[in-house]
């Protein structure tokens, strides 16, 4: 597969409007949930990104039919294969979301070590402990895990950490279990609420979504449904970060401010401006940013997926900012790259101290993960001079072509093949 880079001439202000699509992190579990009924399930407003393409490959591999029409994806039929091919499972972390759905639909699932971004160890103990609590037999092989259960039986499950994926997997496993399941300490993310909205439309009996205790009463069968996922708050936040560093005014149509409180707050603290008008969030910045102190955490706190894009903003602030990462233990791969662009950043444990006073300049930087790559693009948009960002394939996992998105707002971003001599890569 050809390796592509973004070539960015920084310094243009951004003006215009953009449409925010459905959230990647809602669409992926919703597509997995679609196999819980043989009837057609349509997830609307899906982004054209490689994680969704990979999920469609996984669904094809388990034997259900998938059909894409624009941004709408329809899944129908019952799964006939209970093994996620190792090549696919390694393609992305989202294959993990098939665990609960396949176990519920077929009574067994064999999953190879999932891939995805290299951000920390990303264990799955909360998933497997919960499935075992529901009565599944969980056997670990060299590079795979086998879960099997003739019939899952509802029970109380305490999650030691509000894991988004584990919450989603356990909800999908419990929807047709015998009896009632309560997830205590569940994740409250809007993407979890979006998954539950689909399952309830399919006939599941679930309450408490969006709170720390989710109750699932098992039902015999589920039907088809058609649902709009929650809008992508991380894409909206990434566009805001670009406007913040470049200066300008952009209207974000469809952005759902009701789930973006913790994202919006640090931007306002950095002295940018936001109003809601005519179905859009209108975001404005003069490019003069104040320093901020931010810490990531489970929803409703500031999301870890916004850590890198917002750190890029902190690199332009007039003074010392801090960014504390509390969700993943190794999500600072973008820091050395930002330093090569002129940022003064010191890492002390899980906290980055970011001094933006030196100013940023273009450089050759390498994306190593999805959101870190997005942060580097944001930093390059505001930097004086030319930057190249390699590792575009990581960024394509979660964003539709950023060269098109930011180009439509006045930025100079060219997507091109990596030159023979190569540029700095991971």
User: Which spans of this chain sit near ligand EPZ (rule: CB under 6 A)?
Assistant: 24-25, 28, 93-94, 117, 120, 122-127, 161, 163-166, 303-305, 327-328, 370-371, 398
Cβ proximity to ligand EPZ, 217 vs 393, nearer residue = 393
Cβ proximity to ligand EPZ, 276 vs 329, nearer residue = 329
- Least separation in angstroms between residue 129's CB and ligand EPZ is 8
Cβ proximity to ligand EPZ, 270 vs 327, nearer residue = 327
User: Of residues 46, 90, 106, 117, which has the active-site annotation?
Assistant: 117
Contact between residue 405 and residue 239 where contact means Cβ atoms under 8 Å apart: yes
- Least separation in angstroms between residue 311's CB and ligand EPZ is 14
Element (H, E) at 261: helix 261-269
- Measured from each CB, the residue nearest to ligand EPZ is 165
Per-residue burial over 366-393, b if 16 or more Cβ lie within 10 Å, else e, is bbbbbbbbbbbbbbbbbbeeebbbbbbe
- Least separation in angstroms between residue 92's CB and ligand EPZ is 8
Cβ proximity to ligand EPZ, 122 vs 424, nearer residue = 122
Contact between residue 36 and residue 176 where contact means Cβ atoms under 8 Å apart: yes
Cβ proximity to ligand EPZ, 94 vs 272, nearer residue = 94
**Does 147 participate in catalysis according to the annotation?**
no
What radius of gyration, in Å, describes the C-alpha atoms of the chain? Answer: 21
- Least separation in angstroms between residue 187's CB and ligand EPZ is 6
CB atoms within 10 A of CB 268: 12
Instruction: Classify burial at 141, counting beta carbons within 10 Å of its beta carbon; exposed 0-12, middle 13-18, buried 19 or more.
Output: exposed
Q: Pseudo-torsion of CA 213, 217, 222, 226, nearest 10°?
A: -30
- Least separation in angstroms between residue 271's CB and ligand EPZ is 27
Q: Which residues pair with 43 in a beta bridge?
A: 73, 227
- Full DSSP string of 49-105: -HHHHHHHHHHHHTT-EEEEETTEEEEES-----EE-HHHHTT-GGGGGHHHHHHHH
Q: Which token pair is 353?
A: 């101290």
- Least separation in angstroms between residue 184's CB and ligand EPZ is 15
Cβ proximity to ligand EPZ, 247 vs 298, nearer residue = 298
**Residue whose token pair is 């409007």:** 17
**Helix, strand, or coil here: 107?**
coil
- Least separation in angstroms between residue 257's CB and ligand EPZ is 19
Per-residue burial over 12-26, b if 16 or more Cβ lie within 10 Å, else e, is bbbeeebebbbbbbb
Cβ proximity to ligand EPZ, 119 vs 289, nearer residue = 119
| φ/ψ of residue 126, rounded to 5 | -65, -35
Q: Which residues pair with 144 in a beta bridge?
A: 112
Catalytic residues, by residue number, are: 117
């Amino acid at each position: 597969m050809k390796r592509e880079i973004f070539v960015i001439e920084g310094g243009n202000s951004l003006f215009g409007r953009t449409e925010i699509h459905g959230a990647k992190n809602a669409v992926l579990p919703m597509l997995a949930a679609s196999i819980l009924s043989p009837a057609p399930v349509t997830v609307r407003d899906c982004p054209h990104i490689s994680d969704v393409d990979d999920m469609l490959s996984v669904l094809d591999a388990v034997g259900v039919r998938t059909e894409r029409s624009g941004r709408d994806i329809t899944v129908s039929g019952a799964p006939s294969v209970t093994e996620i091919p190792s090549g696919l499972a390694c393609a992305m972390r989202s294959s993990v979301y098939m665990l609960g759905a396949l176990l519920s639909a077929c009574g067994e699932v064999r999953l190879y070590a999932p891939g995805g971004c290299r951000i920390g160890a990303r264990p799955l103990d909360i998933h497997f402990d919960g499935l075992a609590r529901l009565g599944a037999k969980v056997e670990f092989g060299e590079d795979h895990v086998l879960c099997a259960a003739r019939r899952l039986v509802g029970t109380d499950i305490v999650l030691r950490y509000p894991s988004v994926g584990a919450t989603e997997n356990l909800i999908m496993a419990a929807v047709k279990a015998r009896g009632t399941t309560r997830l205590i300490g569940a994740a409250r993310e809007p993407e979890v609420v979006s998954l539950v909205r689909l399952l309830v439309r399919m006939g599941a009996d679930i309450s408490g979504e969006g709170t720390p205790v989710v109750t699932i009463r098992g039902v015999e069968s589920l039907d088809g449904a058609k649902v709009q996922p929650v809008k992508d708050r991380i894409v909206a936040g990434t566009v805001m970060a670009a406007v913040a560093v470049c200066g300008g005014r952009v209207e974000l149509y469809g952005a759902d401010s009701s789930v973006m409180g913790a994202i919006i707050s640090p931007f306002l603290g950095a002295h940018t401006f936001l109003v809601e008008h005519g179905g859009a969030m209108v975001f404005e910045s003069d490019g003069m940013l104040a320093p901020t102190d931010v810490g990531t955490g489970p929803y409703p706190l500031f999301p870890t997926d916004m850590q890198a894009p917002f750190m890029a903003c902190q690199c332009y602030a007039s003074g010392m900012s801090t960014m504390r990462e509390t969700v993943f233990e190794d999500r600072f791969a973008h820091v050395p790259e930002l330093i090569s662009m002129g940022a003064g950043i010191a890492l002390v444990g899980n906290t980055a101290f970011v001094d933006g006073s030196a100013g940023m300049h273009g450089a050759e930087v390498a994306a190593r993960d999805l959101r870190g790559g997005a942060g580097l693009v944001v930093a390059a948009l505001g930097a004086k001079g030319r930057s190249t960002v390699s590792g575009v394939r990581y960024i394509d996992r979660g964003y539709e072509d950023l060269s098109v998105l930011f180009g439509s707002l006045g930025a100079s971003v060219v997507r091109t093949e990596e030159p023979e001599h190569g540029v700095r890569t991971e």
